[in-house]
Chains A and B, each alone.
Chain A
Amino acid sequence: MYNKRMITVRLPQKKKELDLPGPRRVMDLLADAGVRPTTVIVTQGKKLLTKDHRVEDGATIDVISVVSGG
C-alpha cells in the first residue's frame, strides 16, 4: 500500500506535533501550524533553518518559541 511520507513539525512548548505534507518552505509550514515567524526559531537536528528553507518529506523539524514573559 502507498504510504505518503510527511513532514513532522514538533512544537515542544505547546506539547504538540503535526504531520504536514511536503516538500515545503519553513514559512509555509509555520503558517499552517498557526505560528508567527517573528516568535520562533526553527531547527532540524543541530541546524537552524531560515524561513525560506525547503523542508523535504520525511524530515522532522522543531519550532521553538522565543517569547519570554513576566
Chain B
Amino acid sequence: MKCKRCRRAEAAVDLPSHHAAFCPDCFFVFFRRQVTEGIRKLRLLAPDDRVLVCVSGGKDSLVLWDVLIDEGYETEGLYIDLGIDGYSDRSKEKVLAYAASRGKTPIVVELAKEGIPIPEAARCVRMQECSICGTVKRYFFNRVAAEGKFTVVATGHNLDDETARLLGNLLHWQRDHLARQHPLLPGADGGLVRKVKPLWRVSEVETAAYGFLKGIDYVTEECPMSFDATSLVYKEALSRIEDRMPGTRIVFYKGFLDPSNPLRKGPEAAVADDAVPTPEDAPAADAARATEVEPEEGAGTPGACASCGAPTYAETCSFCRLKERVRKARSLRAERISR
C-alpha cells in the first residue's frame, strides 16, 4: 500500500476512519496537523501559555508532550508517582528518560510522601482505585499548576478516552457530567487553572503509531489497578463499532461538541469540573447527599478549602476529605491492632 499523501513511499499507518494511509514522514505531518487543528478550533492554547503537561509514562501523555515541545510551546512535565509497586517505578523511568532526551526535568509528586499512595488509600476507604486516583490527580494537577504559575494544564486524553466517557455518561444519563464534558475546562478566579485535552481528535492507534515511529519509549503495560475499569467496557463497545463502521467515533464526538447540541451548555459550564466533588469522591452512603448539597455546579467563583486552601465549592475540598477518611481508617486499624 502506497502513502496517500506523497504517493511514493510505502505506507506504515493505515487509518480507515480517514480513508487514508501514510508513510512515516507524511503521518507525522498528518498527526501534528490533527493536534494543532484541535487546539486551534477550540482555542485550547495560546502561543504565550505556560503549559503543565501531565505525564504518566504512557503513550498519550508522552506523545502530547513531544508534539507541544515541537510546536514551540513552553512546557514542563508533571509526573505523579501513584505508589503502585513496580508499575510506578517503571512508569517514572520512562518519563525521566523521555524528559532527559528533550533536555527537561519533570516535576515529580510522590503520593507515598504525601501520605496517600493509591493502593493503600483505596484499601483504607474501600473505594475503587481509579476513583481515588482521579480525585488525587486532579488536586495535584491544579495545585502544582497554581504554585508554578502555569497558565494551563494539559492531559493526554485522546478520542477513544473522550468517546468512552461520553458513551458512559449517555448510558447513565449523567446530564450534569454531559454538560461539563469538553476538551477545554476553563479556569476560574480562586486558583482553578484551565485544563485542556489537545489530543481529542486523535485515536489511541494514532498516538501509539506516532510514539512508535518517533522512537518514544513509553510504558506499554496497563496500570494493574485499572483491569476492571468501566471505561474499558465502553472502549471495547466503541472499538467493535469502529471496526465495522470506521469513522463513527470522531463523528460521535464532534456531533456532541457541536454548540447547537442541547446536551451541552458549552465550556463555561465546565468551569468547576475539578472543584465540584463527584459522587465517586464521597462515601457510598453520602453519594446522593454530596450532589444535593453542592451549590449550582460551575457557577460563580469557587471558595477556598478550609483545610488546604484549594479551590472548592464545598467547605473542604474532595482531596482533603479523602485524606481525612484515610487518616481515620488508619487510626482505627492501629487501635484494633493495639487491642
> Residues of A at under 8 Å CB distance from B?
12-13, 36-41, 43, 47-53, 64-70
Identify which of A12, A36, A49, A68 contacts B12 (C-beta below 8 A): A49
- Tell me, in angstroms, the Cα distance from A41 to B232 when the chains sit together: 18
Pair A41/B212 contact, Cβ less than 8 Å: yes
In the complex, chain A residues whose CB is within 8 Å of the CB of B207: 66
B307 within 8 A of A: no
Pair B220/A64 contact, Cβ less than 8 Å: yes
The total of Cβ contacts below 8 Å across the A-B interface reads 79
In the complex, chain B residues whose CB is within 8 Å of the CB of A36: 239-240, 243
B265 within 8 A of A: no
Pair A38/B229 contact, Cβ less than 8 Å: no
Pair A38/B213 contact, Cβ less than 8 Å: no
B interface SS class: helix
Given A13-B220, A47-B12, check contact A41 B208 (CB 8 Å): yes
- Tell me, in angstroms, the Cα distance from A51 to B24 when the chains sit together: 15
How close is B135's CB to chain A, nearest CB, in angstroms? 13
Q: Which residue of chain A lies nearest to B131 when distances are taken between CB atoms in the complex?
A: A70
Pair B14/A51 contact, Cβ less than 8 Å: yes
B335 within 8 A of A: no
Pair A13/B221 contact, Cβ less than 8 Å: yes
Pair A41/B227 contact, Cβ less than 8 Å: no
Pair A66/B204 contact, Cβ less than 8 Å: yes
6 more A-B contacts (CB under 8 A) besides A38-B205, A48-B12, A48-B13?
A38-B243, A50-B21, A64-B212, A67-B235, A67-B239, A69-B130
Pair A41/B205 contact, Cβ less than 8 Å: yes
In the complex, chain A residues whose CB is within 8 Å of the CB of B242: 38
Pair B209/A48 contact, Cβ less than 8 Å: yes
In the complex, chain B residues whose CB is within 8 Å of the CB of A51: 14
Q: What are the 10 tightest A-B residue pairs by CB atom distance, in nearest-first order?
A: A70-B226, A69-B226, A66-B208, A69-B229, A50-B14, A66-B204, A48-B12, A69-B232, A38-B239, A41-B208
In the complex, chain B residues whose CB is within 8 Å of the CB of A53: 1
B60 within 8 A of A: yes
Q: Which residue of chain B lies nearest to A37 when distances are taken between CB atoms in the complex?
A: B243
Identify which of B227, B239, B243 contacts A69 (C-beta below 8 A): B227
- Tell me, in angstroms, the Cα distance from A38 to B160 when the chains sit together: 11
In the complex, chain A residues whose CB is within 8 Å of the CB of B70: none
How close is B33's CB to chain A, nearest CB, in angstroms? 19
B301 within 8 A of A: no
- Tell me, in angstroms, the Cα distance from A52 to B21 when the chains sit together: 11
B100 within 8 A of A: no
